[in-house]
Structure 1
Amino acid sequence: MEQQEIEFKMTQSGSELEEDYGLLMKSMQVSVSKHLLDDAFTMIWANEFYYQLIGYPQEEYEELFHNRPDIYYQYHHYEEELIKISTAVVEAVNEGHSEYALITRMPVKGGAHRWVRMNGFFTQNVVKGCRISYTVITDVNDLVEMRLAQSITYNNIPGFVGKYLVKEHFHIKLLEANEQFASFLGLKDKSGSLDSIFQLNMEANREAIISQFSNIEKGEHIKFLAKMQNKEGNILWMQANGDCIDWVDGCPVYLVIYIDVTDVTELRQMQAKLETQAQQLRDALASAQKANSAKKDFLSRMSHEIRTPLNAIIGMTTIAAVHSSDTARVEDCLSKISYSSKHLLSIINDILDMSKIEEGKLTVDHKAFSLQQLMDSVTTIIYPQAAAKGVEFKETIQAVEEEEVIGDSMRVGQILINLLSNAVKFTPEGGAVTLKVRQTTDRKERMWLEFTVSDNGRGMSEEFLQHLYEPFEQEHERGINSGGTGLGMPITKNLVSLLEGTISVKSKVGKGTVFTVEIPFESVEKKRYLNYPSMDSLRVLVSDNDRDDCAYTSLLLKNLGIKAKEVFSGKDAVEEIRRTYKTKEEYDVCLIDWRMPDMDGIETTRQVRSIVGPDTLIIIITAYDYSSIEAEAWEAGANLFLAKPFFASSLYNSLLTATKPQRTSQDNSHFSTGNLLQGKKILLVEDNVLNLEIAVDLLEMAGAVVDCAQDGKEAVDYFVDKRGRECDVILMDIQMPVMDGYQAARIIRASDCANAQDIPIIAMTADAFQEDVAAALEAGMNAHIAKPFDTELLYNTLNKVLASGNTNVHV
């Protein structure tokens, strides 16, 4: 029989042997490859399992890596493993060994790796001048990862961990211990059953262990108190808990975890401390996450707040440039730019003044301001937003008797802009947003104004209204995301409270929202308007399809002693003009609204002008930017434009244009400088060319004689020269090259010049914090003006300093 088998094998063909070899390699799941011992360890041949292991088909591997393992490892960023393999090969060759072995990570397709055992064998065969080697690679990934996981688990358990094989007759073998346990016992390695200290501990706990043998034999849970001692004689009482995790030759393998209970009180205190620390860490993490979120929300909100007035500034600048020849239009644009600039500066001050932000302290101004200017400024900011979205925006005034009040115009403007911006945002195209202002009954010697912001937009649910003023709350129902930060309404509510006012809201989903804000103001002395005889006799026709606006305009005219008649359409206005023209009862003035449904204001003006000729004054009144219709309106015969909502003063001035055309032009000076600056010599120290030009013009407008220096050193050189004896005051920038303003002021004060101690020095800088004011005074300056400075404040400060001599002035 054996002879027959030998004969059969001898008759097998080479292809059959190769097939058997391939089947054998495939069933063994082992990679076999043949390599040159050159620098690249070039692969000559590999079996099918090699390509299965790395995940690359043979054709792709050869095309990408040209059978060079060095390129393959570098491509996958496993240079460390390549060095490890190369070192093992070189050391084996240099030491005369015929083989090498190591466990390493082998990169595979997709960016992962497999743990493999690599065995290499060197032959004496030579190809291309290099010896030949064979490499056998075995996949041991599961085994290595299991051991790594086990090691990590053992060494991260807070206590001692040991794995034991328990045999009969109290024969216990320590298979493995975690690092804490091995360190305590002083074991040379983590399996130290023969170590004397281990045996000492087993004997010390014999009774406790034997008491658990009935459970151990059945592989059940064990629990006992153990006394553990190390080589230094330190003793710990440990609560031991063990479970059977395996069986070897019918004997259980137990994993035992020890917990130190040497001092239960200490343990409990430690546990409480750990729990406290854990809670503190959780709180700190939550606080950090909330702070980070709040910072992002705050910056996003401030970006919106800053860009809103900035958009108005840019827009008004563009309009002013287009209408540079129209003095009245440019003045109107500059007025709106001024307000928006101050609004922007107010926002920036709140952002930068960290003491106010951190302590929640915001100050309130009590200054006289014009309601007309406030309304114009709000319109300047909101109207472009509404127009861009296709939303109608309208402002109306009702029963407001006082045009100038005392209060904080910036805060009121911020409240209105926040509410109106939200109204525009949540109102779809074709909708309408309205701002109504009316004066309510005076209370406690203060007048109250009621601001109502209404829209017919998406509205809010009853549930959300309960959280409307909470920070970061937004309603995301019905698939709509506002894109905001949820800070606008809390800021608005706080500002209203700061001004001692009230805010209320009514809203229905799909119907719109109405906010009502009431704010108290102090009254100022009412202005009296001159009753010119020619104005007393004026007859005025008011044409406006909005009956409330029409009634309000008629009331203002009546208060001025002017007779007025109301009509509510362009067609009725033309018929009334035609009728009165025939009866010789002509109107002196026609106030015609631009937007009327049947016949707009331009067509009405054209037809009225064709009837009355050039004598009747026609004023187009509109709540919109009239730049787009201005040329057409002039051509139709309009004389003036009057923006709604208007107050008695603006209506009075417009009518005065018609009744007193011969009046002298108004003084262009907007600021009261007195006569203290006339002829005064001022040294202006400023390194920024544009700021220098602006300041020089403003000072020369007040009659001052200005010399300039561009840094602190030039200022000192100027002062110690004879020119310094004639100088009346120094305006000193702080942040300058060569020498800053503080240093320059100190040198001037320390000089032996006759007027070194007497000359007033005013800091003029963008550093506007209280610390900067103190630093300026400490350097010997008399006052501090923050940039960008208010022109009237600049004049007043100069006047005060010059009038008070060399004493500090509180600005």
Structure 2
Amino acid sequence: MNNSDKKYMKKSLKNNKKIIILWGVLLLFLALYYYIIMFNMNKLMHQVDLIVRRPYEVLVSTDKINAEIDKIKVYNENLKFNNTKENVKHISKDIENIYAVVEEEFLGVRDFYDANDGNIRKLYNNFRELRDNENILLKNTLEYDYKYKEITKYMNGNINPYFTTIDDLVDKIQAKIDNKVHSFYMNANDIKNLSQSISVIMFLIIVLCMIIYQVSLNRKNRIISYKNSIFDTISKNITQGLFLHNLNDPNENFISESSEKLFGVKHEDLLKGYDLVVNNIDKKDREEITKIQNDINKENWEYTFDYNHPISGETLKIKMSVNYVDTNGEDVWLTVYSDETDQILMQESLKNALEKAEKANDAKSEFLSRMSHEIRTPLNGIIGMVTLARENINNKAKEIDCINKISASSKHLLVLINDILDMSKIESGKVEIKYKKFGFRNFVESTTGLFFSQAKEKGIKFKSVLEGNIPSFVKGDYLHTNQIIVNLLSNAVKFTSKGGEITNRISLLKEEDSKTWIRFEVSDTGVGIEEKNFERIFNPFEQEDASVSYNYGGTGLGLPIAKRFTEMLGGNISLKSEIGKGSTFTVDIPFERMPEPSLDIFMDKQLDILLIDSMPETLERMDYIFDTMGVFYKCLGRGKDGIDEIKENPNKYDICIVYDDLEDMDALEVIDKIKDTAESDIKIIVSSYDTIDIMDDKRWEKADAFINKPMFISSIIDVLYGMDDIDLNFEDINYKNEDILNGKNVLIVEDNELNMEILRELLLLQGCKVTCAANGEEGVKAFERSKPYEFDIIFMDIRMPVMDGYKATKIIRSLNRKDVESVIIIAISANAFEDDIEKSIKLGMNAHISKPINIGNLIDSLNNIYNKKDTYEQ
């Protein structure tokens, strides 16, 4: 055997190995194909089985119709022997329920029965006629006192024949359904068997064809030469550059024609040498390629280098794949060059997108981890304090301490849940903006009072400042505006340490067309924010860094929620901050200005007012307010100056407004000296950011009234109206009554026993008389049993079994009673979104309070209802 034959046999053996591998892959593929066909056929049978169930709906419904008709027969027999009015009414009601059930089943039969034979229509017509005759029988029995004989006669002539007809029609329908089910199932089974047989046949045919094809291919391989079958075709068609380098015979080296376009070098020049290509490769890449070539012996390798294309001037990413090939005993290196520029750019783009997605996913994972900790913290506090309270049942001081801590933890948990729900609703696009008239003064006072107390507890100085002609009433979205400012102030308190300062500055930015732009600036002297994180902190689920959550807690949703709500209201939000010096968040929101209270009452009043306040912003603000009111006034910045002014003019001033936190003197001392010095009956009004706290302090008993800071014109008017001996003849001014629940007779409709017990006890503490009902139906019955005007208020839960709160409210409002319009119905629900509130109001409720119940919210809602103001969910 010569060398040529040995080489040929060696090549044939290699080819046979490849064929065996190919056959293995082919057989695996065909087996998988057969499995998929079988799986799909079984799935088809499963689907057929589901479809077959459709006729069974008709069988079930017709059986139920038969059953209900049999009930009517039983009631008819009962009627023969007991035709008292009470029994007739009872039978009439039950038969009417049967008619409703049968009507519903007819809908199912009509929808699912597909035989066009008219039996359904006949069945329905017979049933309607049966029902009509049945109603006539019941009516005659009730009105004309039919006895056994008359009832039996009527039944035999007008009812029983329909029973027989209905039974026959039902039998016909069910017989057709049975036949159709059997036929359909048999056909499907035949299809399955046929498909399986065809699949087996196709499998065998494919195998046979592949055998024939392989035999034919082997014959052709003996004829086709190595060079003609491979390189000629590749050289003309591939987009890659193909270099074939024969170590034994350089004359057999090959370079594909496609290499010319790839490298920008003519094909004939490439055949002379690779220098023109090498010169356009970066030096570092050339050195790395040379190093790899020297280190690797008969092993495949890849490398990607930058290539400066001489024609286009672009820098391409060229990938070279080097493969060692032993061809008939010849040592050959096959190098494939391909342009990977687009693919690499795409991979980098995908990598960046993946990194971005992973960061977002990590942020959400971190958020969930943080939420687990944040939610468990107040829960652990609640559970722990409950345990301690139980262990100290006779220690009242300890019990009160535990209850206070439980309350604080509960409120913290509620804030966390509300943040998560708000962000969820924002991301799902379900937030609705509601523009309504609301008291801007009340909004400012409530947020100021809330955060002044929080800041005071941490030892932080807090002030709220008004600048310009700020309206007392505006038209806008109260709920979302409130949430924006509350989130910003909450963050300011959280990130400001003891001894720091927080300023809530509200100013009139501009007025254009019908819009009044109001600017809110929340400044603090807290930890500050790095400029690089300005954008990050407004992203949902993210905080400035991990230490924020560890040191301060929180969801990381407050600022994203504030930003989204601001944008939805047509405003904008910005930030200035410096690490260690604090932050200032600026929010600009447009509102519609509403009319201010009338000032005509001051035109004929000779009021002299002295203001003593150490805050320059307040002095400037009150200059504007007093000028607008048209009263005589003097504004002083020190307590000593105020005392001196009274000494010089002891009979001049009617009213003196004193800030409770003067810088030069104790405000109590100033009030004492003014009272002792003034010869007139001067009225002392104490201004404070925390009037609720100081009103109960006996040290301030010499004060005649208290007023919240920052002050509005309407708040000055309200205080003057409420003072003795200041007759201003105010009209149409409503005031809050803290005892509004005292003596009220209320009905609680609530299915949850614990919630009912809590609300019941809260109302009893307010002096109410309480009646309870476990669901809407019981609530309606309790109201029907009551005397007119017996119940003043109904607290109605929304989601309840048997009958929900909406339906119960609708029934109560539709009753034929004098008090159905006047009785107050307040929804109490865990549904706290604006659309839930709107739905409650539209269905006849006076207000909507969200759970957990807060007695202060109930009192505020009732005051708003009695004063006929807009009611806002707190």
What is the TM-score normalised by the length of structure 1?
Answer: 0.48
Q: Which has the higher helix share?
A: 2
What TM-score comes out, normalization by structure 2 length?
A: 0.45
